[in-house]
Structure 1
Amino acid sequence: MAETKRLYEWFAESTNRYGDTQVALEVDGQRLTYAELAAAAARVAGAILGRHGGVPSRVGLLASRSVVAYAGYLAISRLGATVVPLNPAFPVGRNSDVAREASLDLVVADSALPGSAELPVAVLRLGDEDLPALLSGPVPQLPELGSAAEDLAYILFTSGSTGRPKGVPVTHANVAAYLDHVIPRYQLGPDARVSQTFDLTFDPSVYDMFAAWGSGAALVVPTRNDVLSPVRFVNRNRITHWNSVPSVAAIALRLRALKPGAMPSLRWSLFCGEALKLAHAEAWQAAAPNSTVENIYGPTEMTVTWTEFRLPGSVDRWPRTDNGTVPIGTPYPGQEHMILDEDGRPADDGELCVRGTQRFPGYLDPADNVGRFCTFDGRQSAVHDGSEPLTVEHWYRTGDRVKLLDGVLVHLGRLDHQLKIRGYRVELGEIESLLLRRPGVTDAVVVALPGRKGDPLLHAVCTGAGANREELLDALRRKLPAYMVPATVTFTGALPLNANGKVDRAALIASLSEPQAA
């Protein structure tokens, strides 16, 4: 049995094979071959060793769409350390919370970006002034790669219902199982040019980077404005493999950019992170007639994506679902799933529970595992209560409601109060928890209403003596990314309750919708 490749080794093998003959990265006006990017990563790794005084265990990366971002990611992996991406668009308070939760030894930060000076950890700042040294000069001697298959390749943080970010550790073995499937499936190789639309804090970026670098392809990074103009970006850069959230297609369609035949270079078009509507997929397919469109799905806990549904070439053969979305399809090879009803019994409509070689080992804080896993004896499931260690036999409860349609899975939404905004997972409970910490707030509920641009719009309803609404919103902005900050805060005397004595969210949504409908 072949030894499991560690994350950096996917890149290293391509570097050994292609060296200076193939472009590995195009970003921010720079074009680096595999050999040049490997050397830049080694120089950053040397700087990390010097700043930390040895090989660190976990390193944050506060950078985006720059040579520092990608060389930094590879440098951390090259040292056998765990990569913990931080998002430059997030408030300093949020990134500081992640730094503490992850027990970071160091943060590599792009000095052109704000916020690194306030982090509660040592910081290695690199910027434009350091590029000449990163791209030339001596390459330091580095220690041998020390990580093992079961060590952590990266940790991503998702929204948590307790009011703090929730760490999702992913092992090298998890990533290897994933890459072993997707690289051949999407026919990636030295002639491929792969888009990189996702922030590094969003796990589809792992596909972008390492499916490209694991095959000798070029990773082509758009600016933020480029992402909103996908047709222009694809054509200008001769992109062959596209991967994004479906909302990019929706925006392009609204701007009338998806003209038939507009993107002839595309061979593969992947969409993930939120529901892909059939109408948006059809418009994209018409604009990229040489491309195969595939809808892929997976929680962060199952390593990037975990199911696939390939739309037939003829629209006449496409499935028609009740909610107008493309099915999420079937699991990857070697992965298992079951659907459980509310009583924990097998059903054709219910919660999707999953396990397999891509399943993460459990949350960074073991307390977060309680209730999120279950066992199944063939008839009945038992929810994990934390009294025993997790094993590979445990099923991860996704919280996603699915149903079977002609042998494939269709995603029907969330079973809890979690939702996706701009492709990011949002736990309404996290926002509520932060509101409850503010003076003058005794209870708080956050609900989502349809927004004008398709994304949910958040509204907070609070009880208590009352507080300044703008001060409340400012407090949230200091701790949360913009997409998690409610559009409005309303104070009321009491929250409506249903017959079971629980907060009646449906009644709240109805009351908030009335003024908009008037």
Structure 2
Amino acid sequence: MSVRPEAPQPRLHDWFARSAHRHGDGRTALEVDGHHLGYAALSALADTVAGTVLARHAGRPARVGLLASRSVLAYAGYLGILRLGATVVPLNPAFPLARSGDVAKEAGLDLVLADASLPDLDSLPVPVLRLTDRDLLDPPAESPVPAPPPAPAVSGNDLAYILFTSGSTGRPKGVPVTHDNVAAYLGHVIPRYGLGPGARVSQTFDLTFDPSVYDMFAAWGSGATLVVPTRDDVLSPVRYVNERRITHWNSVPSVAAIAMRLRALKPGAMPTLRWSLFCGEALKTAHAGAWAAAAPNSTLENIYGPTEMTVTWTEYRLPADPADWPDTGNGTVPIGTPYPGQEHLVLDEDGRPADEGELCARGSQRFPGYLDPADDAGRFHAFDGRRATAYDGSGPLTPEHWYRTGDRVRRQADGTLVHLGRIDHQLKIHGYRVELGEIELLLTRQPGVTDAVVLAVPGRKGEPVLRAVCTGGPADPAELLDALREKLPAYMVPATVGFTEALPLNANGKVDRAALVASLSRPEAA
């Protein structure tokens, strides 16, 4: 008896293409910057991007940077790059161009597709294709863009996108994600959240932040509408939800915290919402409660996942009655349990299974390893059923290896996981991952700085504020901060830089960070 082979998983562009085939212009795919584009229209614009790239670039590119945001070009560009069978590498226009240049080199980009209105694009170290929304929406009749040829065959193991996170080595660290990784993820979340025609999905995340993959492709993979806010809209979520009739919300919890602080989360304020998802930071129970009261028709879920496990990887659905919400002991909503088919371990400091310790993960959503294999050493475990041993990079990295998330969790009696914080010096600010070592390394490269420690101390309202303490001198703190701003996004630049004669050491001869934090932990002045 012959066994029929399993059908291949859809590639990332397929999720959109199938909806475009089904819905044409009968359904709106994208609302951005005053434009309403049906599925057929957006598909045609993606073809225009793909054809333009082929016409102006020698050969089909393998990896393309996308330097655009909240525009028709950004979304048609994302789809157009995938349409070519290439890998998308999002770049953020809000970040220093020098950082985008570093990413371009690390990723081995063939070219960058960029918003032509951005300045200084000639400084990028790879060819740049400049386009505008007008180029796509109103192309000159005398120079039609050739239609791209049929999309090439793409393997499930090929890379759909590469995102770059803050790296402890002082350079951005590339996280490649395969088409099969994304297919496993979308295959779960689209039906879970009842997405389909008529759903209107928020898009609060920049394309360099992986929850944007959910926003775009959970919407487009189901025939829903992606509704892109302006930057001002993100700061006024209640107004945005109501004016744009959002049904599916997804954001970092700090958006809810800001809305709560501004007293915008009045009971019943967002009646159109059916689903509310929060990810990227710990979700405080108080913020969840205020949001749930403001969106009484919405089911609220806390979702969690490192970029390396493809967007999100665990889920916890809060009961409809707040009286039934769990008390986790730290004022946060549990991160829940892994998605079906995903595996996890909780390991203590000795690498043995425990109810509290580091969360390790594997499964169909686990990325294949960092873009630079040297970054894999120490980030994975082999586990023999009794004890884990760190992967040292000397042998092949296989799907059997467990990714070390660096997150501390506690497993409750029912198997639900509660997030307790980071085990290293990495943290998240505004939902973005920050490696303090990257900032420290850049500081030590500045004239007059001998050593540097960057610390996160509580601000006036409890939010983490970065402060740097250096040895050496003389050096002008303002000049040091200006130098960091040339290489780092704003959320990674410390609020202050101070100098000390010597860094305090603990009994083991290591820098006593706890002592430094204690000396700096004064809330921000008003």
Interval containing the TM-score (normalised by the shorter chain): over 0.9
1:342 aligns with 2:374: no
Q: How many residues align?
A: 517
1:195 aligns with 2:202: yes
Cα deviation 1:31-59 (Å, max 9, x = unaligned)? 00000000000001001111212210000
Q: Report how far residue 113 of structure 1 moved.
A: 2.6
2:152 equivalent among 145, 156, 167: 145
1:184 equivalent among 178, 188, 191: 191
For residues 148 and 363 of structure 2, what CA distance do their matches in structure 1 show?
Answer: 38
1:268 equivalent among 268, 275, 299: 275
For residues 74 and 131 of structure 1, what CA distance do their matches in structure 2 show?
Answer: 13
Aligned runs of 1:52-67 on 2, under 5 Å?
52-67=57-72
Partner of 2:3: none
Q: Equivalent pairs: percent with the same residue?
A: 75
Partner of 1:445: 453
1:220 aligns with 2:200: no
1:252 equivalent among 256, 259, 263: 259
SS of alignment partner, residue 9 of structure 1: helix
Are 2:360 and 2:402, in contact at CA under 8 Å, matched by a contact in 1? yes
Partner of 1:101: 106
For residues 116 and 321 of structure 1, what CA distance do their matches in structure 2 show?
Answer: 49
Q: Report how far residue 441 of structure 1 moved.
A: 1.0
Q: Report how far residue 125 of structure 1 moved.
A: 0.7
For residues 74 and 492 of structure 2, what CA distance do their matches in structure 1 show?
Answer: 25
1:71 equivalent among 67, 72, 76: 76
Cα deviation 1:63-122 (Å, max 9, x = unaligned)? 000000000000000101000000000001111000000010011111123342321111
For residues 228 and 478 of structure 1, what CA distance do their matches in structure 2 show?
Answer: 26
Partner of 2:500: 492
Are 2:252 and 2:278, in contact at CA under 8 Å, matched by a contact in 1? yes
Are 1:293 and 1:310, in contact at CA under 8 Å, matched by a contact in 2? yes
Are 1:401 and 1:412, in contact at CA under 8 Å, matched by a contact in 2? yes
Code of the aligned partner of 2:251 = S
For residues 155 and 364 of structure 2, what CA distance do their matches in structure 1 show?
Answer: 15
Partner of 1:458: 466
SS of alignment partner, residue 216 of structure 2: helix
Label 1:453 to 1:109 Cα distance change in 2 as closer, same or farther (>3 A). farther
1:510 aligns with 2:515: no
Q: Report how far residue 453 of structure 1 moved.
A: 4.3
Cα deviation 1:142-178 (Å, max 9, x = unaligned)? 2323321000000000000010000000000000000
Aligned runs of 1:395-434 on 2, under 5 Å?
395-406=402-413, 407-434=415-442
Cα deviation 1:380-419 (Å, max 9, x = unaligned)? 1110001001000000000000001232000000000000
For residues 270 and 515 of structure 1, what CA distance do their matches in structure 2 show?
Answer: 30
Q: Report how far residue 476 of structure 1 moved.
A: 0.3
Code of the aligned partner of 1:250 = A
Moved more, 443-452 or 240-249: 443-452
1:240 aligns with 2:247: yes
Code of the aligned partner of 2:350 = D
Aligned runs of 1:247-396 on 2, under 5 Å?
247-396=254-403
1:21 equivalent among 16, 23, 26: 26
For residues 520 and 220 of structure 2, what CA distance do their matches in structure 1 show?
Answer: 48
For residues 95 and 452 of structure 1, what CA distance do their matches in structure 2 show?
Answer: 32
For residues 56 and 4 of structure 1, what CA distance do their matches in structure 2 show?
Answer: 23
Q: Report how far residue 516 of structure 1 moved.
A: 6.6
Code of the aligned partner of 1:236 = E
Are 2:458 and 2:523, in contact at CA under 8 Å, matched by a contact in 1? no
Label 1:372 to 1:134 Cα distance change in 2 as closer, same or farther (>3 A). farther
1:84 aligns with 2:84: no
Are 2:459 and 2:524, in contact at CA under 8 Å, matched by a contact in 1? no
Gaps of 5+ in 2: 1-5
For residues 367 and 424 of structure 1, what CA distance do their matches in structure 2 show?
Answer: 23
Code of the aligned partner of 2:125 = P
Partner of 2:478: 470
Cα deviation 1:442-470 (Å, max 9, x = unaligned)? 11100011123443100000111331111
SS of alignment partner, residue 479 of structure 1: coil
1:204 equivalent among 211, 225, 231: 211
1:40 aligns with 2:48: no
Are 1:43 and 1:134, in contact at CA under 8 Å, matched by a contact in 2? no
For residues 161 and 486 of structure 1, what CA distance do their matches in structure 2 show?
Answer: 16
Q: TM-score, normalised by structure 1?
A: 0.98
For residues 205 and 74 of structure 2, what CA distance do their matches in structure 1 show?
Answer: 13
Are 1:157 and 1:168, in contact at CA under 8 Å, matched by a contact in 2? yes
For residues 508 and 182 of structure 2, what CA distance do their matches in structure 1 show?
Answer: 44
For residues 492 and 120 of structure 2, what CA distance do their matches in structure 1 show?
Answer: 19
Are 1:42 and 1:142, in contact at CA under 8 Å, matched by a contact in 2? no
Cα deviation 1:307-344 (Å, max 9, x = unaligned)? 00000000000011111000000000110000000011
For residues 44 and 232 of structure 1, what CA distance do their matches in structure 2 show?
Answer: 33
Are 1:49 and 1:55, in contact at CA under 8 Å, matched by a contact in 2? yes
For residues 252 and 31 of structure 1, what CA distance do their matches in structure 2 show?
Answer: 28
SS of alignment partner, residue 281 of structure 2: coil
Code of the aligned partner of 2:79 = L
Moved more, 506-515 or 103-112: 506-515
Deviation >6 Å, runs of 4+: 135-139
